[in-house]
């Protein structure tokens, strides 16, 4: 029990927003003509301003860009970038590039900057035209955009969709895999998004705590299978709907509800423990009894399903999905979801049998252990809920 409480206490040191310290860059690559690659980039505005400006805060780009950001004025934000286009473009092209069979393509800015909203934050849209050798049959793309001197972004994923070299597809670049080729294999594309999904669940403490609450509150294999399946179906539905642009819910709503879901599901188990102790003749501590779900069991699944829908929006926000994405990216997003499911299943396979064995051999200890886990998780969920409501 002490170990469980210690784990939850350590998790409490994590930031309230599990996804708040990563950024996503969006790139769409096309080839309007032979030897010509057009890259449409979407970059988080405030990160772009801070990174493209000099370290000193008296840099004109920083002053005007930061003032426009605080004012929330899209026209001023675009004007700030246009006024310092040379610095901004130099930063982007220094960290994002296209090569054709080993030869660097030459970038030229096409038009001015525009601003749009993604994940409730402004994104700067920049179009670059790359001039490449006309004889090239394949292209390689590299990205090292963010993090930079701003220090509060721990990672950036560059999500690329492309229609080049008689092929189309998508790729996800980060510090561990900063480049890809249009001739990459299907297995390489699969692994990129599978790994992203797996890493997202492993680093998303809120989703892990929700899953831990489900495991602690499931006394039989049937219960955890039904709960996990219900959660999977629910979050897969909203994840896909968000990818298709059919559902758009702001993060200011999604993140607090995810935190609340952790507290509710964990608290449900505490209520069951109290009910069990008050009606010891109905169910013994070892977990024996009828195998069919009672009304409380069905109600729990309904709650899990509803919260699973919201968690799906949280998974979608990991890639900034708030607008309709192309069909060629949808398959990669489904692979991202498979990565999430693989880690979720692995956690269940490891944790549930251990708790089940403890319940079977030492029923009282098993009850206290799961109760301690549920109590700690519930407290953390409530803390995160308050923090996210207040914007702390």
62 in Cβ contact with 49 (< 8 Å): yes
Same domain, 145 and 215: no
Position with higher pLDDT, 81 vs 325: 81
Over residues 221-226, mean pLDDT: 86
Average pLDDT rounded to a whole number, residues 83-88: 92
Quote the pLDDT of residue 295: 66
The answer to whether position 80 is within a domain reads yes
- pLDDT tens digits, one per residue of 313-365: 877 665 555 444 555 566 777 888 888 889 989 999 999 999 888 888 888 88
> Which of 116, 149, 184 is the endpoint of a domain?
184
First to last CA, the chain: 30
* pLDDT at residue 13 is higher than 60: no
Q: Is the pLDDT of residue 14 over 60?
A: no
Give the pLDDT of residue 278.
62
| Structure confidence at residue 133 (pLDDT) | 86
Q: Which of 140, 156, 184 is the last residue of a domain?
A: 184
- pLDDT (0 to 100) of residue 121: 83
Phi, psi (rounded to 5 degrees) for 189: -65, -40
2-11, 38-47, 141-150, 326-335, range with greatest mean pLDDT: 38-47
> Do 139 and 99 touch, CB atoms closer than 8 A?
yes
Crossing angle (nearest 10°) for helices 2-11 and 363-390? 10
| Domain assignment present for 119 | yes
Domain presence at residue 237: yes
Predicted confidence at residue 41, as pLDDT, reads 95
pLDDT score of 390 more than 70: yes
Q: What is the pLDDT of residue 66?
A: 85
Q: Is residue 123 part of a domain?
A: yes
Q: pLDDT value at position 358?
A: 87
Above 90 in pLDDT, residue 38? yes
Higher pLDDT, 190 or 292: 190
Q: Do 58 and 132 share a domain, yes or no?
A: yes
- Inform me whether the pLDDT recorded for 3 exceeds 80: no
Count CB neighbours of 334 within 10 A. 15
Strand stretches in 144-253, DSSP E: 155-164, 167-173, 179-181
Q: Is residue 294 part of a domain?
A: yes
Same domain, 9 and 27: no
Residue 40 pLDDT grade (very low, low, confident, very high; cuts 50, 70, 90): very high
Kindly state whether residues 8 and 49 are assigned to the same domain. no
Residue 126 domain-assigned (yes or no):
yes
What pLDDT sits at residue 21? Answer: 62
Kindly state whether residue 264 falls inside one of the protein's structural domains.
yes
Least confident of 5-14, 48-57, 128-137: 5-14
Domain membership of residue 369 as a residue range? 2-17+204-390
Residues 28 and 121 in one domain: yes
211 and 80 assigned to the same domain: no
Choose one of 149, 184, 219: the last residue of a domain: 184
Nearest to 344 by CA among 143, 204, 249, 250: 204
Q: What are 87-107's pLDDT values in tens digits?
A: 999 999 999 999 988 889 999
- pLDDT digit string, tens, across residues 252-285: 788 888 888 889 888 888 887 777 666 554 444 4
Burial class (CB in 10 A: 0-12, 13-18, 19+), 40: middle
Residue with tokens 């403490």: 205
Higher per-residue pLDDT: 179 or 243: 179
Q: Which two tokens stand for residue 176?
A: 């561990």
Question: Mean pLDDT, the chain, as a whole number?
Answer: 79
More confident residue, 109 or 360: 109
Specify if 312 maps to a domain: yes
126 and 172 part of one domain? yes
Confidence of residue 134 (pLDDT cuts 50, 70, 90): confident
Q: How confident is the model at residue 247 (pLDDT cuts 50, 70, 90)?
A: confident
SS3 371: helix
In this prediction the pTM is: 0.62
Whether residues 74 and 12 fall in one domain: no
Q: Are 69 and 100 in a shared domain?
A: yes
Sign of CA dihedral 102, 103, 108, 110: negative
Q: 177 and 274 share a domain? A: no
Same domain, 79 and 42: yes
Q: Name the domain count of the chain.
A: 2
Kindly report, residue by residue over 152-202, the tens digit of the pLDDT: 677 788 888 888 877 777 787 888 788 888 877 777 778 877 887 888 788
Among 10, 374, 359, 341, which residue's Cα sits nearest to residue 215? 374
255 and 384 co-located in one domain: yes
- pLDDT in the model for residue 151: 64
Percent with pLDDT over 70 in the chain? 81
């Amino acid at each position: 029990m002490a170990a469980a409480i210690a784990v939850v206490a350590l998790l409490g040191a994590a930031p309230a927003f599990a996804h708040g310290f990563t950024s996503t860059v969006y790139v769409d690559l096309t080839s309007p003509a032979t030897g010509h690659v057009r890259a449409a980039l979407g970059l988080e505005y405030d990160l772009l301003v801070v990174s493209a400006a000099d370290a000193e805060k008296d840099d004109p780009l920083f002053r005007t860009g930061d003032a426009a950001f605080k004012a929330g004025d899209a026209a001023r934000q675009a004007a700030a970038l246009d006024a310092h286009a040379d610095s901004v473009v130099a930063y982007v092209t220094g960290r994002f590039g296209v090569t054709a069979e080993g030869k660097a393509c030459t970038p030229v800015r096409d038009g001015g900057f525009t601003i749009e909203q993604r994940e409730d934050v402004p994104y700067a849209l920049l179009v670059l035209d790359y001039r490449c050798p006309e004889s090239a049959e394949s292209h390689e793309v590299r990205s090292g955009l963010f993090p930079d001197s701003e220090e509060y972004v721990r990672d950036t994923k560059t999500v690329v969709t492309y229609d080049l070299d008689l092929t189309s597809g998508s790729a996800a670049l980060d510090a561990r895999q900063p480049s890809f080729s249009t001739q990459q294999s299907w297995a390489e594309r699969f692994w990129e998004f599978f790994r992203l999904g797996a890493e997202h669940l492993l680093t998303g403490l809120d989703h892990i705590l929700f899953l831990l609450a489900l495991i602690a509150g499931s006394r039989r294999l049937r219960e955890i299978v039904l709960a996990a399946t219900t959660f999977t179906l629910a979050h897969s539905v909203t994840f896909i709907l968000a990818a298709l642009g059919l559902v758009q819910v702001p993060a200011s709503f999604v993140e607090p509800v995810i935190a609340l879901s952790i507290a509710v599901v964990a608290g449900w188990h505490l209520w069951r423990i109290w009910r069990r102790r008050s009606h010891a003749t109905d169910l013994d501590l070892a977990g024996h009894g009828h195998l069919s779900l009672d009304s409380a069991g069905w109600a729990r699944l309904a709650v899990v399903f509803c919260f699973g829908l919201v968690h799906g929006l949280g998974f979608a926000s990991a890639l900034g999905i708030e607008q309709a994405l192309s069909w060629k990216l949808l398959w990669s997003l489904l692979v991202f979801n498979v990565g999430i499911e693989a880690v979720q299943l692995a956690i269940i396979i490891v944790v549930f049998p251990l708790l089940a064995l403890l319940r079977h051999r030492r029923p009282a200890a098993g009850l206290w252990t799961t109760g301690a886990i549920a109590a700690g998780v519930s407290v953390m969920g409530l803390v995160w809920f308050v923090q996210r409501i207040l914007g702390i």
